[in-house]
Amino acid sequence: MDYDKLVSMAADAGYLLIANGAEISRAEESVRRIFYAYGAENGEVFAIPTFINVSVSTPEGRPVTAIRRIPSRRVDMGKVDRANDLCRRVCRTKPKFESVEREIRRISAQPVFPFPLQVAAYALVAAAFTLFYGGNCSDALVSFLCGAAIRPICSLLERLHVNLFFINVAASFAAAAIALCFANFNASLNYDKIIIGALMNLVPGIAITDFMRDIIAGDLIAGILRFTESLLVAAAIAIGAGIALTAMRMLWGV
């Protein structure tokens, strides 16, 4: 058996899972099951949210190792789902490495929703959460605009390779500023409900849900990383909105 290809394929499968927001224990177990399926029982895998390391010893005792850095993670549950199904199928049917690699490439190239639909989704999230937190219909309308502004700002800054912290500060500032401008001209708007609803878009849901699951599963480093990440993002959101609030107070005395 070609151990080089096995290790490379397993690393790619793990990378696909983690880069799209799966738990660390799921990714590690998937890789381990792939090794079992192909008869490489001594396979080892170590993963944290930014890194995956896979290693196997050949029967001659030569270690084969692959490392993948995971520079950026996004949440795409559709891909996690497909990758998970693929791993189960690989363990059951043990297909050729080439066909698995082709399948992994196909899954990772799968398109997400087109950009206008993503903007619409962000806007809908904002509007629905404003209503959920007790805003009225006109609040929801303004919140819809704030939410729609968040996605283009994020993708523009991502293209400029700005760091995650600053992206969140900028997006949060923009959403809060739009809400406060509207509130300045129409005093009946509940600007707090609008801002909270719009900022739900930036909340690191995956970090919050996964960090406890990771810690429970024994992946302490992964859990701490996610916890730190969620603290950083929460701070960034608060700072962005805080700058907008302070600036508006100084400008108009809202």
Write out the residues near other proteins by the rule CB under 8 A: 21-23, 26, 75-81, 84, 112-113, 117-118, 120-122, 124-125, 128-129, 131-133, 192, 195-196, 199-201, 203, 205-206, 208-213, 215-217, 234, 237-239, 241-242, 245-246, 249
Name the residue type at position 176. Answer: A
Identify which of residues 55 and 230 has a Cβ nearer to other proteins in the complex: 230
Smallest gap, in angstroms, from Cβ of residue 192 to other proteins? 7
* Those residues with Cβ within 8 angstroms of residue 145's Cβ, 6 or more apart along the chain or in another chain: 123, 178, 182
Smallest gap, in angstroms, from Cβ of residue 88 to other proteins? 8
Smallest gap, in angstroms, from Cβ of residue 79 to other proteins? 7
Identify which of residues 128 and 221 has a Cβ nearer to other proteins in the complex: 128
Classify burial at 98, counting beta carbons within 10 Å of its beta carbon; exposed 0-12, middle 13-18, buried 19 or more: exposed
Identify which of residues 60 and 72 has a Cβ nearer to other proteins in the complex: 72
CA-to-CA separations, 198 to 46, 141, 178, 203, in angstroms, rounded: 37, 11, 10, 10
Between helix 115-132 and helix 191-199 the angle, nearest 10°, is: 130
Identify which of residues 68 and 79 has a Cβ nearer to other proteins in the complex: 79
Smallest gap, in angstroms, from Cβ of residue 93 to other proteins? 16
* Those residues with Cβ within 8 angstroms of residue 240's Cβ, 6 or more apart along the chain or in another chain: 168, 169, 170, 171, 172, 173, 174, 175, 176
